[in-house]
């Protein structure tokens, strides 16, 4: 599967969000502090067991957030979108990683309803060669 990301460089921090369309990523090329001027692509083929998929539950739904919270085994943070919750400091990504996930598929709120794949891998995944590799997308 091909994913896209706008960023200032080809690093892949945790968490790191991608979208399924170049156009969806392009809106982040001029959206500081999110994204960056360069458009990158990555080809991924994660095992199904690595994917926590809550896309069908919607971007602003409490159902999607509740499903993420349940998978992480932590308490509900209150009002937050799935995308915002995944990027919170303090461990949501680490807890999901401990549960066996490396990718979370959500419906994002910007651009509204975008299919977003969030990488939540860590240094061990990088050392094993499982981290997505970014290539500059040609204009």
- What's the gap between Cα 45 and its chain centre? 15
Q: What is the pLDDT of residues 49-75, one digit of tens each?
A: 999 999 998 877 789 999 999 999 988
Domain boundary assignment for the chain: 2-136
The rounded distance, in Å, linking the Cα atoms of 131 and 128 is 8
Pairing of strands 2-7, 112-119: unpaired
The model's pTM is 0.91
Whats the size of the chain, residue-wise? 139
Residues 92-112 have a mean pLDDT of 91
Edge-to-edge strands of the sheet including 112-119? 51-53, 103-109, 112-119, 16-19, 2-7, 38-43, 135-136
């Amino acid at each position: 599967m091909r994913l896209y990301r706008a960023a200032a460089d080809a690093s892949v921090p945790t968490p790191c969000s991608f979208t399924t369309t170049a156009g969806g990523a392009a809106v982040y090329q001029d959206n500081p502090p999110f994204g960056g001027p360069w458009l990158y692509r990555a080809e991924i083929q994660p095992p199904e067991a690595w994917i926590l998929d809550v896309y069908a539950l919607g971007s602003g739904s409490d159902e999607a957030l509740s499903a993420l919270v349940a998978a992480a085994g932590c308490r509900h943070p209150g009002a937050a979108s799935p995308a915002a919750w995944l990027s919170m400091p303090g461990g949501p990504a680490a807890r999901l990683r401990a549960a066996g996930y490396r990718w979370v598929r959500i419906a994002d709120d910007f651009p509204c309803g975008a299919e977003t794949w969030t990488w939540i891998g860590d240094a061990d995944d990088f050392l094993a060669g499982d981290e997505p590799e970014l290539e500059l997308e040609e204009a």
